[in-house]
Amino acid sequence: MEGAATAQALSRIGLAGLAVMGQNLALNIAEKGFPISVYNRTTSKVDETLDRAQREGQLPLTGQYNPRDFVLSIQRPRSVIILVKAGAPVDQTIAALAEHMEPGDTIIDGGNEWYENTERRIGEASSKGLLYLGMGVSGGEDGARNGPSLMPGGSHGAYMNIKDILEKVAAQVEDGPCVTYIGEGGSGNFVKMVHNGIEYGDMQLISEAYDVLKNAGGLSNSELADIFAEWNRGELESFLVEITADIFNVKDEKTGSGELVDKILDKTGMKGTGKWTVQQAAELSIAAPTIAASLDSRYMSGLKEEREDAAGIFKKEGLKEEINFDVNGSSVDKKRLIDDVRQALYASKICSYAQGMNLLRAKRAEKGWNLNLGEMARIWKGGCIIRAVFLDRIKKAYQRNPGLANLMVDTEFAREMVQRQAAWRRVVGLAIQRGISVPGMSASLQYFDTYRRSRLPANLVQAQRDYFGAHTYERIDMPGAYHTEWSKLARKARV
């Protein structure tokens, strides 16, 4: 009987690393009825989590204060989630826990890890008989507590061991929980990285929409709050548009005057996943200009002092901060501008998602991962930062045609791009006239314009390459590779 009682007392799963994300995910798991053991090197974090578990409904959560007790408190085959800082801390945590684990046990890394580190750890774990998952977790602290989007990749057996838990803990949408087995190796981390790249693009595009409405349209924060709230009831309905509406409504409590958004330093931080996305796009020869423009914009935002100096220098030379080359000198039609910006934002966002999906497709081909792009769109419909109503339509586009070359050429999206292109061009044109930088919207429009043209000026680039480097070129009217003695023929032509 004693053995049965002990088995009863064992936790179903363990979680190590109790910063905000770890604490919230542990409480979410416990709240869904799965007894959980938690551990953290700093013991005060364990106490803090135990206290929250009591306060938030006497949840079935037990705290452990050393790696051995922690591992032994979990029922076999053991599954342990770790949520610590990417890189060396993950290796240290794995080493501390693996010492007490047995063949058949599973380690799940829930951090934003570089996918190749996960692939190395899969090999190391497997040499000890351990299973391993690299699991992207999106949704921030709120998502972790109430339902995140989960992207587990690695051992399928490990996934099956905790599938019941993950499906309960993940955000729930009408077509199921926002979790699926992503694929082999580091695919879960890679998909989360691309999700974050799309997120960079999305946030940049929204900030440009704000900039144009504020500086070309003269809209106040309260008008902006109303516009974004209204947009969030239509085709742009998404987490990022929703929180943007909220942001414009928040007053500055420190000074008691005006809105807080105007007092925030215009200098963006970043953790690195956006940079990895752009690097991977370059490695795979995939154009991702919207995501790259958002990364460049974050770098440029970091040059605050240089930008202030530059504004002074150009002003001295007679350039106003907001230029107006509007030939008619006419004022902007606010109502039309608002509708144009809505359409430009929507079309630009499609480009950002299309670039992310193409990156996943290229990596799938390179690595032989079994990624289902429609399913990726589905699990991003809830819980995560890029959740948006139009992800359901992205899912359907890939269901209609799993081999879709680009999201933009799906019949539905192609129609929408064509319908919105006039408004999109007006917004980008107006911004350029007014000297308002719109790198994300411009990059998206250039992406669309390049992709939709059956002939590009790349013929001239090929001629140049052949001229100075004998790189050869192909012809449109006959097969084969050709090289021309350009300088010799050009001299002859001049005579």
Is 434 annotated as contributing to ligand binding? no
Is 299 annotated as contributing to ligand binding? no
C-alpha 332/C-alpha 355 separation (Å) is: 32
Is 488 annotated as contributing to ligand binding? no
Is 42 annotated as contributing to ligand binding? yes
The answer to whether the CB of 133 falls within 8 A of the CB of 155 is: yes
- HSE-CB at 413 with a 13 A cutoff on CA atoms is 26
C-alpha 350/C-alpha 236 separation (Å) is: 11
Is 21 annotated as contributing to ligand binding? yes
Is 20 annotated as contributing to ligand binding? yes
- HSE-CB at 330 with a 13 A cutoff on CA atoms is 6
Active site includes 192? Answer: yes
Active site includes 45? Answer: no
Is 86 annotated as contributing to ligand binding? yes
Is 163 annotated as contributing to ligand binding? no
Handedness of CA 397, 399, 405, 406 (dihedral sign): positive
Is 112 annotated as contributing to ligand binding? yes
Is 147 annotated as contributing to ligand binding? no
Is 53 annotated as contributing to ligand binding? no
Residues 6 or more apart whose CB falls under 8 angstroms from that of 408 comprise 350, 351, 354, 414, 417, 448, 451, 452
Burial 230-242 (b: 16+ CB within 10 A, else e): ebbeebbebbbbb
The answer to whether the CB of 177 falls within 8 A of the CB of 133 is: no
C-alpha 371/C-alpha 379 separation (Å) is: 13
Element (H, E) at 87: none
In the set 192, 363, 381, 395, the catalytic residue is: 192
C-alpha 356/C-alpha 288 separation (Å) is: 7
Is 298 annotated as contributing to ligand binding? yes
Longest Cα–Cα distance in the chain:
105
Is 68 annotated as contributing to ligand binding? no
Is 195 annotated as contributing to ligand binding? yes
In the set 199, 208, 259, 416, the catalytic residue is: 199
Query: Which residues carry out catalysis?
Result: 192, 199
Q: Which residues are annotated as a binding site for NADP(+)?
A: 17-22, 40-42, 84-86, 112
Residue ranges for the known binding site are 17-22, 40-42, 84-86, 112, 138-140, 195-196, 200, 271, 298, 465, 471
